[in-house]
């Protein structure tokens, strides 16, 4: 089974499984297709994380997050302008294709050329399907439309056509030479030359030096279930496990089926855990206290603070946006992949390399603009992330494979879905579609769908509420697969807040 943020992408991955490919093969095909059908969210101009749990019990995390250019510096965005999210200086070295190459070399069974074929065909012939990306561009007052309008090459690609022939040619070239050709030779030379002429600093050397990194997943447990998730530079995995362990100490299960009883504690846990995101950064540059976050002693301490109301203030407000794309795969042999990829803000930097047809990320936006902090800019550094590809284990085998899109709402939404399934004993579909909350500054963002009693209880607990509509895209998009531990049967749930879909092999 494949779950992805667009039905065409899910079908591309499922077709690979039917041909005998494994979960990694299907994940690569799904990723490439997502870059064609939903280019506002992810693509080969971006980066991501992949979490694997293999049928032999081995788990691993691959970090192909973008890296800051060699020409970057800690003070380059100190003026707090929008240069870190729009234009050439916002672009970090893309990692998606390097990630694909590593995944296929070490864990795949099929050739990149075969896996790219469906994406090539879609890019060349045109995408005749509704998408969130198209909806954004139809709204001429929207931020994404205005961003694309700043750049002629991007306007030509995205506003006047429903097909991407230049991107198709680039994918064909990569199919012939392999994805590593994106980092050596004429492709990076053309990209670097174009960006330099625009005032950017991304160079050929940045492409040549790029390499994905295999990391050890962070692990923990929650109410008897095992937790496996993404380590730093992701803050998501560590904070997810920490938050769930705090929730277990609070014994929310007593009121798990009573929404009003459980939600105030959920809000307090989310506020407590998300306040710690500033501590995260690239582990090669920053000493992230992962062991402390994952300790049961720390979880007990946080739970006591919440009980005593010493931690009622939610957190500092942020100015994040809700881009990114998550997909997950489970194959017939029990291999699983949970992967989250992004070009950061909607349509990334807004810059498309005209000779390649590739829209580039604005991942420099994920760094702290203030020098001297854990997530400040440095050459070749990876920015911290909220992406939280995760796997929940039951008796040592995959039970839930999930992750989400939506910036920091990724962490809070994945947390709530896991809690809904394990504590609330909900069906997977209900767990994903149920209303959510998210702390933002002194305000608790509350999605439509909660009962009046629940809202009253939140107010009595001291929270200032900002009420939003039901199934608001602000609260991200969680896609999840549940595996029946007895039969091995898979059940998928795509988030109604996004155009997600399941496809079966």
Digit-coded pLDDT (tens) for 274-290: 999 999 999 999 999 99
Which of 76, 136, 80, 151 shows the shortest CA–CA distance to 349?
151
Average of per-residue pLDDT across 59-79: 97
| Residue 486: per-residue pLDDT | 81
Looking at the DSSP bridge assignments, the partners of residue 215 are 61
> What pLDDT does 50 receive?
98
End-to-end Cα spacing for the chain: 6
HEC-encoded secondary structure of 334-348: CCEEEEEEECCCCCC
Residue 302 pLDDT greater than 60, yes or no:
yes
pLDDT, residue 129, reads 83
Which of 19-33, 104-118, 244-258, 487-501 comes out lowest in average pLDDT?
A: 244-258
Assign 141 a pLDDT band (cuts: 50, 70, 90): confident
Decide if pLDDT at 372 tops 70. Answer: yes
Averaged pLDDT, 342-347 = 96
* Residue 397, beta-bridge partner list: 394
3-state secondary structure of 126: coil
Q: What percent of the chain has pLDDT over 70?
A: 95
What is the pLDDT confidence band of residue 181, given thresholds at 50, 70 and 90? very high
Q: 439 phi and psi, to 5 degrees?
A: -75, 135
- CB-based contact 5:38 (threshold 8 Å): yes
pLDDT at 311: 42
Of the candidates 425, 407, 415, which has an alpha carbon nearest to the alpha carbon of residue 362? 407
Percent of the chain whose pLDDT exceeds 90: 84
In this prediction, residue 159 has a pLDDT band, given cuts at 50, 70 and 90, of confident
User: Average per-residue pLDDT in the chain?
Assistant: 93
CA 82 to chain centre: 22
| Whole-angstrom distance, CA of residue 137 vs CA of residue 400 | 34
CA 153 – CA 132 distance, rounded (Å): 21
- Which residues does residue 325 pair with via DSSP β-bridges, in sequence order? 341
Residue closest to 424 by CA, chosen among 261, 255, 246: 255
- Taking 60 as the threshold, does the pLDDT of residue 98 lie above it? yes
pLDDT digits (tens, 9 = 90+) for 10-38: 999 999 999 999 999 999 999 999 999 99
> Tokens in use for 307?
């009980």
Q: How far is it between the farthest Cα atoms of the chain? A: 63
Specify the higher pLDDT residue, 70 or 320.
Answer: 70
User: Does the pLDDT at position 316 exceed 90?
Assistant: no
Q: Which domains does the chain show, CATH number per domain?
A: 2-212+325-366 (no CATH), 215-320+387-503 (3.60.20.40)
Residues with a known catalytic role? 324
- Of 258, 256, 302, 297, nearest to 276 by C-alpha is 302
Per-residue burial over 161-178, b if 16 or more Cβ lie within 10 Å, else e, is eebbebbbbbbbbbbebb
Predicted local distance difference test score (pLDDT) of residue 327: 98
Query: 112-125 and 165-177 are packed helices; what angle lies between their axes, rounded to 10 degrees?
Result: 170
Residue 167, pLDDT > 90, answer yes
The pLDDT tens digits for 392-436 are 999 999 999 999 999 999 999 999 999 999 999 999 999 999 999
Q: Is residue 65 predicted with pLDDT exceeding 70? A: yes
The sheet with strand 437-440 has its strands ordered as: 437-440, 443-448, 464-470
* Tens-digit pLDDT profile for residues 232-276: 999 999 999 999 999 999 876 545 556 667 889 999 999 999 999
- Is the dihedral angle over the CA atoms 153, 154, 158, 159 positive or is it negative? negative
What average pLDDT score do residues 351-359 get?
Answer: 97
Tell me which residue has tokens 């995408």: 127
Residue 102, CA distances (Å) to 23, 122, 150, 322 in order: 14, 25, 35, 28
Assess contact for 434 and 480: CB atoms under 8 A. no
- Residue 3: DSSP 8-state: E
- In three-state secondary structure terms, 293 is helix
Rounded Cα distance between 264 and 90, Å, is 38
């Amino acid at each position: 089974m494949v779950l992805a943020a667009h039905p065409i992408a899910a079908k591309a991955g499922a077709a690979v499984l039917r041909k005998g490919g494994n979960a990694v093969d299907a994940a690569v095909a799904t990723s490439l297709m997502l870059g064609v059908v939903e280019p506002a969210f992810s693509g080969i101009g971006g980066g991501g994380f992949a979490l694997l749990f293999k049928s032999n019990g081995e788990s691993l995390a691959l970090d192909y997050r973008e890296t800051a250019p060699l020409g970057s510096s800690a003070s380059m965005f100190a003026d707090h302008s929008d240069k870190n999210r729009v234009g050439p200086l916002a672009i970090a070295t893309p990692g998606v294709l390097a990630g694909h190459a590593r995944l296929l070399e070490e864990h795949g069974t099929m050739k990149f050329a075969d896996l790219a074929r469906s994406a090539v065909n879609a890019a060349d012939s045109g995408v005749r399907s509704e998408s969130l990306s198209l909806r954004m561009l139809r709204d001429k007052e929207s931020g994404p439309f205005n961003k694309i309008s700043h750049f002629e090459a991007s306007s030509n690609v995205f506003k006047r056509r429903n097909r991407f022939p230049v991107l198709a040619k680039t994918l064909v070239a990569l199919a012939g030479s392999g994805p590593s050709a994106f980092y050596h030779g004429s492709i990076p030379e053309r990209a670097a030359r174009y960006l330099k002429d625009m005032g950017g600093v991304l160079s050929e050397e940045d492409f040549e030096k790029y390499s994905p990194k295999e990391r050890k997943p962070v692990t923990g447990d929650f109410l008897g279930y095992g937790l496996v998730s993404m380590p730093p530079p992701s803050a998501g995995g560590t904070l997810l496990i920490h938050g769930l362990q705090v929730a277990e100490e609070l014994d929310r299960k007593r009121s798990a089926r009573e929404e009003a009883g459980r939600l105030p504690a959920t809000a307090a846990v989310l506020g407590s855990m998300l306040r710690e995101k500033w501590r995260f950064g690239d582990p090669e540059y920053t000493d992230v206290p992962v062991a402390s976050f994952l300790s049961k002693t720390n979880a007990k301490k946080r739970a006591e603070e919440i009980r005593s109301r010493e931690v009622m203030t939610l957190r500092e407000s942020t100015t994040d946006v809700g881009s990114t794309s998550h997909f997950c795969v489970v194959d017939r042999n029990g291999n699983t992949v949970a992967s989250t990829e992004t070009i950061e803000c909607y349509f990334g930097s807004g810059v498309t390399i005209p000779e390649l047809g590739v829209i580039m990320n604005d991942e420099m936006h994920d760094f702290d603009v203030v020098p001297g902090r854990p997530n400040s800019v440095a050459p070749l550094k990876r920015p911290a992330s909220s992406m939280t590809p995760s796997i929940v284990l039951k008796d040592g085998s995959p039970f839930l494979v999930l992750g989400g899109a939506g910036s920091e709402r990724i962490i809070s939404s994945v947390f709530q879905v896991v809690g809904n399934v394990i504590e609330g004993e909900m069906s997977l579909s209900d767990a994903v579609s149920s209303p959510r909350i998210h702390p933002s500054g002194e305000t608790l963002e509350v999605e439509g769908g909660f009962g009046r009693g629940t809202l009253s209880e939140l107010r009595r607990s001291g929270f200032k509420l900002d009420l939003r509509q039901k199934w608001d895209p602000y609260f991200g998009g969680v896609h999840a697969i549940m595996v029946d531990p007895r039969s091995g049967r898979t059940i998928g749930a795509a988030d109604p807040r996004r155009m997600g879909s399941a496809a079966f092999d």
